[in-house]
Amino acid sequence: MSPSSKPEPVLLHGDEMEVKIRGLMLDPVTNMPIVVLKDVLSDALVPIWVGNFEANAIALEIEKLATPRPMTHDLLVNLIRTLDGEVRRVVITELRDDVYYALIWMERGGELISLDARPSDALALALRADCPIFLSGQVLRTTRAANAGVENFSAEELRKWLENLNDEDLGRYKM
């Protein structure tokens, strides 16, 4: 470790899985935007449906498109940095009643702070802050259990479709 680098804070990970945003596309059934998260160590995919405005904020950063004025998530990152803080990680912590929950972990002055957030906002912020994204074990277990019990053909078909996406497919469904 160089003298100018600071030690990483200890964040309790438990049974979390690091993911990357694999793509952003439209659900062919509902026409709602989907953020597809992929486990960095396997081929496991987790889709999260988001609103149109939130998808646009994520798409702008994925595509590295500049806007003439700071968007909300740009403003937040600028504010955090101006106050000598740093976004360290985001964690999608829970799936309850078909609603995902997330925490944004920040560090300021050696103190770790967590903030409740919508996953779409946390993901947009993570992209701009270039910090890692994690899914909690609870989300993984709940998602797997929900997918295992799927009896609706269209939902099962959608799951298979998501699992078989390749890079060409992801480009076709850009927002």
Query: What CATH number should be reported for the domain holding residue 81?
Result: 3.10.690.10
Q: What per-residue confidence (pLDDT) applies to 30?
A: 84
pLDDT of residue 114: 96
pTM of the shown model: 0.77
Which are the contacts of 119, defined by CB distance < 8 A and separation ≥ 6? Answer: 48, 50, 92, 100, 101, 102
Is residue 9 a part of any domain in this protein?
no
Torsion angle of alpha carbons 158, 163, 167, 170, nearest 10°?
30
Span 47-52, average pLDDT: 91
Is there a domain that residue 101 lies in?
A: yes
Q: What is the signed CA dihedral for 91, 68, 174, 23, rounded to 10 degrees?
A: -20
Residue 18 has pLDDT above 90, yes or no: yes
Residue 116: domain span? 21-168
Provide the 8-state DSSP code for 43.
Answer: S
